[in-house]
Amino acid sequence: MDARWLAKIKRGVIYLILCAMLIVMVLPFAWMVLSSLKEEDEVFTYEMSWLPAKVTFSGYVRALNEQPFLRYGLNSVLVSTIITMAQLFSSVLAGYAFARLKFPGRNLVFFIYISAMMIPQQALIIPSFMLIRRFGLVDTYAGLTLPFLAGPFGAFLMRSFFLSTPTSLEEAAVLDGCSRLQVLAKVVIPLSKPALATLGLFTFMQAWNDFMWPLIITNSVNMRTLQVGLALMKTDIYPDWPMMMAATVLATLPIIGAFLLAQKQFIESLAFSAVKY
């Protein structure tokens, strides 16, 4: 009896602690949504209230009027999609080359790729900026996407995946007379869907949330991505908080929505890199 009691108490305590942590995790989001529905002056009272006295969408209206949020969203979608497609393309090819093809210098090149993964983005940002400027691509979609169309991480990930899959089907295809690239297209890729989904999701999220590069590479309002547009809204000395919260809700809704619909994939894609480390 005692043991069961203890176990029950233990579970109760665990639930309690977890619930407390859950509240801490979720509270800011709840506060964000509630604030976005308040009138501007209701927010500046010392008597804090959780629920809006009068639910209003005026914050959202102001947010959409002040800045072209739809345009920002479109830019983010476009840029993230281009980057993701390109990364998948280049990483699958590169990963396959590293994993399955023998060529001189393979280990050396791969070693360079691995070492490069340790380079922080900021060390590259100034010369990349100057390069894009020399090409005349500042403030363009090309400028926003070019540096990210390929990267060592994607190649590394795909190589790891390919190395861990059996080669029997591929060898059979080669014996049947397929070229290596055909083998890649017809046999390997269809079987790599989970890895592709993982890399794709990871890349998309990174691109969507990226802030520093779009900040420096865009000047005109119409080229801003969602993150930059959001950040630059908060530059006034007296911010319009309900409007800012509304803007933040609009900016985070897509990704949180996607996350809730595909939780497993999101979590796996981010954790995947850890497992393969």
Partner 1 sequence: MSRRPLILVLILVLAFGLSATAGAATTIHYWHYLSGDYAEIHEAMVEEFNALHPDIQVELLYTGNQFVTRDKLIAAVAAGQPPHVCLVDQFWPPLMVATGALVPLKNFVDTDSYFADFNQISLDTVTVEGEIWTMPFSLSNQILFYNKDKFREVGLDPEKPPATWEELLEYAKLLTRDLDGDGRIDEWGVNFTTRANMGAVYTFITFLWQAGGRIYNEDFSAAAFNDEAAVETVQFWRDLAHRHKVLNLSPPQEGFETGRIAMQIASTSSIEATKRKVNFDLGIAPLPSYRQKVTGVGGSSLAIFKTTPQEEAAAWTFVQWMSSPENNLKWSTLTGYTPLRKSVLASPEYQSYLAENPAVQVVIEQFQYARARPNEVSYADVSRILGVAVEEAVFGNLDPKPILDNAVAEANTYIEMSK
Partner 2 sequence: MRAKRSNLGNEQTRTALLALLPSFVIFCVFTLYPVFHSLYLSFFNVSLISSSRSFVGWNNYAALIKNPTFQKAVLNTVIYTLGVVPVGIMLSLFAAVLLNNKLKFRGLFRTAFFTPVVTSMVAVAIVWSWMLEPNYGLINSLLSKIGIAGPGWLTDPKWALPSVILLSIWKNLGYNMVIFLAGLQDIPRDIYESADIDGATPVQKFIYITLPLLRGPLGFAAIVSVIKSMQVFGQIYVMTGGGPANSTMVIVYYLYQQAFEFYRLGYASAVAWVLFAAIFVLTLLQNRLFRAEGA
Q: Which of positions 159-188 make contact with partner 1 (CB under 8 A)?
A: none
Pick the stretch among 24-32, 48-56, 174-182, 216-224 that binds partner 1 (CB under 8 A): 216-224
Q: What are phi and psi of 48, to 5 degrees?
A: -75, 135
Look at the block and give the residue holding tokens 């979590």: 267
Of 168 and 219, the one with the shorter C-beta distance to partner 1 is 219
Binding-site string for partner 2 from residue 40 to residue 69, where x marks contact by CB under 8 A and - marks none: ---xxxx-x---------------------
d(CA 214, CA 265): 26
Of 165 and 268, the one with the shorter C-beta distance to partner 2 is 268
Count other Cβ atoms within 10 Å, centred on residue 5: 9
Decide if 209 contacts 76 (C-beta within 8 A): no
Decide if 154 contacts 91 (C-beta within 8 A): yes
- The reply to whether 262 sits near partner 1 by the rule CB under 8 A is no
3-state secondary structure of 257: helix
- The reply to whether 25 sits near partner 2 by the rule CB under 8 A is yes
Q: Which of positions 87-106 make contact with partner 2 (CB under 8 A)?
A: 89-91, 93-94, 96-98, 101-104, 106
Candidates 21, 116, 163, 221; binder of partner 1 (CB under 8 A) is 221
Q: How far is CA 245 from CA 31, 32, 205, in A?
A: 9, 6, 21
- The reply to whether 263 sits near partner 2 by the rule CB under 8 A is yes
DSSP letter for 54, please. S
Of the candidates 150, 16, 6, the one whose C-alpha atom is nearest the C-alpha of residue 84 is 150
Q: Give which of partner 1, partner 2, none residue 125 binds (C-beta under 5 to 8 Å, depending on kind).
A: partner 2
Q: Give which of partner 1, partner 2, none residue 60 binds (C-beta under 5 to 8 Å, depending on kind).
A: none
Q: Which residues bind partner 1 (CB under 8 A)?
A: 44, 66-67, 133, 136, 138-139, 216, 219-221, 232, 235-238
